[in-house]
Chain A
Amino acid sequence: MMKGNKFPGGIHPFYGKEFTEGGKTETLPLPDKVVIPLSQHIGAPCKPLMTIGAMVKKGELIGETTGVIAAPIHASLSGKITNIGPSPHPGGNQILSMTIESDKKDEWIGGFEEHPDTLDIDIETIKKIIHKAGIVGLGGAAFPTHVKLNPPKTKNVHTLILNGVECEPYLTADHRLMVEQPNDVIEGLKILTRILGIKKAYIGIEDNKKDALRIMEQAVKKEGSRLVETHVVELETKYPQGGEKQLIQAILGLEVPNGGLPMDLGLVVQNVGTAAAIYEAVRYGRPLIDRIITITGRGIAQPKNLRVRIGTLVRDILSYCGGFAGEPGKVIMGGPMMGPAQYTLDVPIVKGTGGILVFPKEEVSVEESRACIRCAACIEVCPVGLLPNMLSITAEVLNFAEAKKFHPLACIECGCCSYVCPSRRPIVHQIRHIKMDMASTKKKVVMVT
């Protein structure tokens, strides 16, 4: 096993993984209904293919892509479409969604082509399967996977990094996946290296998941020469190690050029959950209609790792987990560092959802923000070397012209600055504000992904 390097900055918050790290993944029983948003990825929303009243089956295509950076959307249970309209999305906005009420039969649409030997299929076909299965990055950013698998010919891609870091506190879905389905991850790795013609692979895992490290190491050893040269890398536990750029720095000691992509270094990074989903899609021909999430926090009666269908409402998942423990304070979709808080429980799980975190009322405190005291704690923890305090101060007085001098587009929005700020300033949101202003002024914007 390899040991990782260090990346600058970062924080060591309370990780809270003990609630669920030992809990075997259960499968949520068939829900009565699902609400499936037609946009679950970065990029253009999908076009609905059904009308109200239509009957659909599990795995049936219900949303068709309209842009290049998009992934199709499928029904996650069989039943009747009862509504197509704007519905709450975990991001906080309303998004065109399809409501399917279950017919209790839970039937697959069928006609899937199975491939017992995934190495037997030609690469173009595999790419098509992945595209058609609607797979997006399951680490949270939800970038359509097939786009990442079609690097321009000019980029010489030579190394794959599988992201098993799961640095967000409380979340254990990727951890359980590696412990329970190591072979799915490895099979996914094989498919990925084959598609991209890659010679070398790394699997990065933080050292607070010793069992996952051991199991993945064994799985790699067992495969032996059937894998490309693959190293499991033990990484120090530190947030935001799971950020693509930080992971590259921690494993290879390299920095992605400013404004560039990992591809510019010949690298492709994929989440371990995405790798497993790719395997399942290629092996069984089935689209992505469910995923593992972690339901956790002191505000939950029975914290669990659960396999849930895309579109399942938070309300239904919580009731399966015994409901709230005491009075809830905050319900967060994802981890506590980057997950948005929810105003309603009628919000669905989407492809990019890693978990549901509930803080009880007594754990939620709201402190008023104060003036920056220039303590520089934010600078020390910033993993990309920004001056978050200057960005915050300039954003506060809406001096966007000045703010642009401090490289706001390099911000990865990890929130470390806000976490450490003794003045409780909403620094990361102020930086987002600057970015939005820059985008709205329609100047040339280099997106940092």
Chain B
Amino acid sequence: MVLGIWPHIRTETNINKIMYTVIATLIPGALAGVYLFGWSAIQVIAVSIVVAMGTEAAMQKLIKQKMTVFDGSAILTALLLAMTLPPGCPWWVTAFGSFFAIAIGKQIYGGLGYNPFNPALVGRVVLLIGFPLQMTTWENLHPLFSGVDVTTGATPLGDVQVARLSHKPVPDMETHQFWNMFTGNTMGSLGETSDLLLILGGLYLLYKHFITWHIPVSMIGTVVIFSGIFWLIDPAHYANPLFHVLSGGLMLGAIFMATDMVTCPNTPKGQLVFGAGCGLLTIIIRMWGGYPEGVSFAILLMNSLTPMIDRYIQPHLYGAKKGAGNK
């Protein structure tokens, strides 16, 4: 007979189930990238995953931790990182980002659960700073089997930044362009282009209760409100809020990165604050910063505030006087 401690029944959800479910919900968006950008996208994803798992195994062996390479967390980090990279990212850049994400973004802090920053974003931002040329060379669409040669060009956000830096009006957007941005028929990072597929994945995570609505809604809502105010004041120099919502990594960031359990706040209220901060920083960087895109920086900056948010926003303690705080 087994002794064991109560409770003697447990939910079926464990770490592996959570990780592989999130991976599964990312796959449609990743496949869209593979379809749009062909073999180069496959290479980015494959290199990222192989290096991440290798790094995780090596680090765990090095620091004599229990091996958990197959719990899905390294694969998830690698897939998320790959989805934020340009589809034509050279293999050694991808490999470096993936190694950095796992080794420095995660394992150095003690592995899964102990990392203060989203590891995939740590990897991406290091590449953004260290390899700006490779990280901003964007492939034009050349869907699988279409026979179209690989050419490069600018992303919608890149166009807006160029206009902004040269003090020209932002380019006009037609309705069909918004539609293309929503469905994914646009240039950009490998897995960030199809908002539609990312939203579908997010809805499934909501249904499974692995994320809550608080962060995505407050992050995207803040982007809409904040960019909307400036757009209403001066539509010639500030992009449409719909453009901000549909472009760049906002959807991937709001649904899959900012909601990372390990690095976001614990309580619904804290998550609302966190999401709003992410949205605000994203727009500030997009409108006035040196980078066309601000989602990665915004989330990492807010990650650093998570412990503080958790400290000040705690649940109501049963029996504590309302309004008197929990102390």
List A residues at the B interface (Cβ < 8 Å): 8, 11, 13-14, 169, 245, 249, 255-260, 328-332, 336-343, 357, 359, 364, 366-368, 370-377, 379, 382-387, 389, 407, 410, 415, 418-424, 426, 428-429
Contact = CB atoms under 8 A, between A and B. Distances in A.
Interface in B1-27: 1-11, 13-15, 17-18
Interface stretch (B92-100, B155-163, B239-247, B261-269): B261-269
B145 interface: no
B13 A407 contact: no
B6 A387 contact: no
Nearest to A381: B11
Given A372-B113, A374-B261, A419-B10, A426 B319 contact: no
Nearest to A332: B8
Ranked nearest first, the 5 interchain pairs of A and B with the lowest CB-CB distance are A371-B113, A258-B319, A384-B318, A415-B7, A385-B315
Given A370-B15, A373-B262, A330 B2 contact: yes
B3 A256 contact: no
Contacts of A370: 15, 68, 112-113
Given A371-B113, A418-B10, 5 more contacts: A341-B8, A343-B1, A373-B112, A374-B261, A386-B315
A318 to B, nearest CB: 12
A341 B6 contact: yes
Given A337-B6, A364-B2, A366-B2, A410 B262 contact: no
12 contacts: A245-B318, A258-B319, A260-B319, A329-B2, A341-B3, A341-B6, A371-B111, A374-B264, A383-B318, A384-B318, A385-B315, A421-B10
A367 B14 CA distance: 10
B289 interface: no
A376 B2 contact: no
A422 B112 CA distance: 13
A35 B20 CA distance: 51
B317 interface: yes
Contacts of B310: 387
A99 to B, nearest CB: 23
Contacts of B1: 328-331, 341-343
B318 A255 contact: yes
Contacts of B14: 367, 422-424
A379 B319 contact: no
A373 B15 contact: yes
B291 interface: no
A200 to B, nearest CB: 22
Contact of B15 (A366, A379, A422): A422
B62 to A, nearest CB: 17
Given A367-B14, A376-B266, A385 B316 contact: yes
Contacts of B304: none
A403 to B, nearest CB: 15
Nearest to B326: A407
Given A372-B113, A373-B15, A374-B262, A330 B4 contact: yes
Interface in B95-140: 110-114
Contacts of B111: 371
Contacts of A357: 8
Contact of B112 (A258, A331, A371): A371
B319 A423 contact: no
Given A245-B318, A410-B318, A424-B10, A373 B5 contact: no
B13 A420 contact: yes
B165 interface: no
Contact of A429 (B5, B13, B114, B261): B5
Given A419-B10, A424-B10, A387 B266 contact: yes
B185 interface: no
Nearest to B315: A385
Nearest to A92: B3
A422 B16 CA distance: 9
Q: Which of B3, B114, B319, B320 counts the most A-chain CB atoms under 10 A from its CB?
A: B319
A338 B8 CA distance: 8
A339 B5 CA distance: 9
A338 B315 CA distance: 24
A368 B71 CA distance: 13
A127 B158 CA distance: 83
Q: Which of A249, A256, A339, A415 counts the most B-chain CB atoms under 10 A from its CB?
A: A415
Contacts of B262: 373-374
B314 interface: yes
A44 B18 CA distance: 47
Contacts of B326: 407
A339 B13 contact: no
Contact of A336 (B8, B210, B319, B320): B8
A373 B319 contact: no
A385 B318 contact: yes
Nearest to B3: A341
Nearest to B17: A422
B6 A336 contact: yes
B14 to A, nearest CB: 5
A333 B128 CA distance: 59
A382 B315 contact: yes
B6 A374 contact: no
A378 to B, nearest CB: 9
A384 B316 CA distance: 8
Contacts of A419: 7, 9-11
Contacts of B18: 373, 375, 422
B9 A169 contact: yes
Given A366-B2, A424-B14, A330 B113 contact: no
